[in-house]
Amino acid sequence: MSREAEQAAPVPPQLDRADVRVKHEAGVGGAIRRFFDRVRSGDLGSLPVIVGLVIIWTVFASINPIFLSSSNLVNLLFDCSTVGVIALGIVCVLMVGEIDLSVGSISGFASAMVGTLWVNQGWPVALAILAAVAVGGFIGALYALLFNRLGMPSFVSTLAGLLAVLGLQLYILGSTGSINLPYGSNLVNFGQLLMMPKFVSFGLAAVPGIVMLVTGLRTVARRRAANLSAPSAGGLITRAVVITVILELIVFYLNQARGIPWMFGLFVGLVISMHYALTRTKWGRSMSAVGGNREAARRAGINVRLIYSSAFVLCSMLAAFGGVLSAARLASASQQAGTGDVNLNAIAAAVIGGTSLFGGRGSAYSALLGIIVIQSIASGLTLLDLSSSLRYMITGAVLAIAVIVDSLARRSRVSHGRA
């Protein structure tokens, strides 16, 4: 690289700024203009979900002020964590342009497994959880096998799996149909009570800003050394400070009530790890490539089957783990676990958060943002004392709107040459 830098040294223009036809807008004004350009051409990113969230919160808060109270929001975070983990798996399969409709059943089955193995059979709880997640991974491997070797569309195989795994769940729960997890056990405490100490939550809220600043400054230095254009350090510092202030304010507000649940911390940790894996590793690059153009990925030497398998297995494992968390949250493993709207909520969360149903576009953060939207609606409607019939209808309508936004944005991207 040093050689290239030397070669380019006598010529002032930077490597990526040599073409005079391209406008490179700098500074705050430029950043704002770039943002509007992107949105106009259909590259919406997280914008719809943030706008949606503001609308939903405003509406519910004006109807019932309790909605925005810190204690209600803390409960919201507990509820987000369980289905959110499942939605994170959905992001994986959507990235490669496939779908898993059986995540609800898998989560229910996993909770039933933990219930029987731990409570009924007396296994150590960690081993029971491990077994449940491993069986989830096995189901995902089965989908991958059907998809890769037999060419079975994931839509159909997972639809079949939805029913089959639900059958398994009912089978192992047996005639009693429900197993109560002991109150006071670590797992149930984790799912219902365990909060971060205040100093830990304030400390963790500062981490993203610090990491952003450190890695950002290092990248700027490296790009300068390589004679590439680099963002200004000032902008970077501003962004890091703004993010830190916002996060600390949120933490401060939530600490007025019980604080931040460890379970939510675990969920956010998983989201951040997944984000890193999807954007900063070869595996993540391959996932986007397979979702965007499978044949091109194959000819580039990517093991396409392995990538599909990793997506299916990861999705099912996360679904199983989400099931374990929801068992901990409810302190029970029942026949109802994982049925009803769990499936749709997980898929809706990923799509609402901005992961495309058409493959190749998505982000781990969409699971986090999407599930907050979904659970906000659920929590708001519960506070309004509305029946579940209305809740289903409204959640369905929100999902429909999210998919419409995705389709329209995609069409706009195609016509603006950004697909």
Binder of another protein out of 80, 297, 315, 324 (CB under 8 A) = 297
**Which sign, positive or negative, has the C-alpha torsion 64, 67, 71, 76?**
positive
Closest approach, Cβ 349 to another protein, in A, equals 22
- For residue 415, the minimal CB distance to another protein (Å) is 11
9 binds another protein, rule: CB under 8 A: no
Task: Tell whether residue 419 is a contact of another protein (CB under 8 A).
Answer: yes
Buried b (16+ CB within 10 A) or exposed e, 46-66: bebbeebbeebbeebeeeeee
Q: Is residue 258 a contact residue for another protein (CB under 8 A)?
A: no
Structure tokens at 188: 């149930």
Q: Provide the minimum distance between the beta carbon of 419 and another protein in the complex, in angstroms, as a whole number.
A: 4
The size of the interface with another protein (CB under 8 A), counted in residues, is 40
| Burial classification of residue 98, based on how many CB atoms lie within 10 Å of its CB (0-12 exposed, 13-18 middle, 19 or more buried) | buried
366 binds another protein (CB under 8 A): no
At residue 286's C-alpha, the angle toward residues 284 and 289, to 5°, is: 115
Helix axes 365-383, 262-280, angle to 10 degrees: 150
- Output the six-digit token pair for 212: 């952003």
Tracing tokens 């159909």 back to the chain, one arrives at 156
Contact status: 411 vs another protein (CB under 8 A)? no
Stretch that binds another protein, among 253-261, 289-297, 333-341, 370-378 (CB under 8 A): 289-297
Q: Which of 60, 115, 361, 363: binder of another protein (CB under 8 A)?
A: 361
Choice between 6 and 51, CB closer to another protein: 6
Radius of gyration of the chain (CA): 23
d(CA 79, CA 382): 13
Pick 6 or 58: Cβ nearer another protein: 6
User: Would you say 71 or 407 has its CB closer to another protein?
Assistant: 407
Distance between CA 343 and CA 326 in Å, rounded?
Answer: 13
Q: Does 134 bind another protein (CB under 8 A)?
A: no
Q: Which of 1, 149, 184, 389 binds another protein (CB under 8 A)?
A: 1
Among 6, 16, 25, 37, binds another protein (CB under 8 A): 16
Give exposure, 243-254, as e/b (b: 16+ Cβ within 10 Å). Answer: bbeebeeebeeb
Both structure tokens of 68: 């925005």
Residues within window 211-250 making contact with another protein, judged by CB under 8 A: 219, 222-223, 226-228
Q: Report the C-alpha gap between 419 and 410 in whole angstroms.
A: 7
Contact segment (CB under 8 A) with another protein among 57-65, 170-178, 277-285, 343-351 equals 277-285
Using the minimum distance from each CB to another protein, give the nearer residue, 198 or 224: 224
Q: Return the SS3 of 357.
A: coil
- Separation between Cα atoms, residue 145 and residue 107, nearest integer Å: 21
Count CB-CB contacts under 10 A for residue 154. Answer: 24
Identify the residue among 110, 278, 289, 311 touching another protein (CB under 8 A). Answer: 289
- Among positions 19, 29, 121, 150, the unique one binding another protein when judged by CB under 8 A: 19
Is there binding between residue 357 and another protein (CB under 8 A)? no
Q: Is 40 in the site for another protein (CB under 8 A)?
A: no
The span from the CA of 88 to the CA of 278, in Å, is: 12
Q: How distant, in Å, are the alpha carbons of 86, 213, 277 from that of 243?
A: 26, 11, 22
CB of 403 to another protein, least distance (A): 19
Amino acid at 140: G
- Name the E strands within 258-358: 332-334
Confirm or reject binding of residue 6 to another protein (CB under 8 A): no
Q: Which stretch binds another protein (CB under 8 A): 13-21, 58-66, 309-317, 368-376?
A: 13-21
Q: What is the DSSP string of 146-161?
A: HHHHH---HHHHHHHH
Q: Residue 414, interface with another protein (CB under 8 A)?
A: yes
Q: Is 293 in the site for another protein (CB under 8 A)?
A: yes
Q: What is the per-residue binding string for another protein in 100-119, x denoting contact by CB under 8 A? A: --------------------
| Choice from 153, 280, 408, 411 touching another protein (CB under 8 A) | 280
Positions touching another protein (CB under 8 A) are 1, 4, 15-16, 18-19, 21-22, 219, 222-223, 226-228, 280-283, 285-286, 288-289, 291-293, 295-297, 299-302, 360-361, 413-414, 416-419
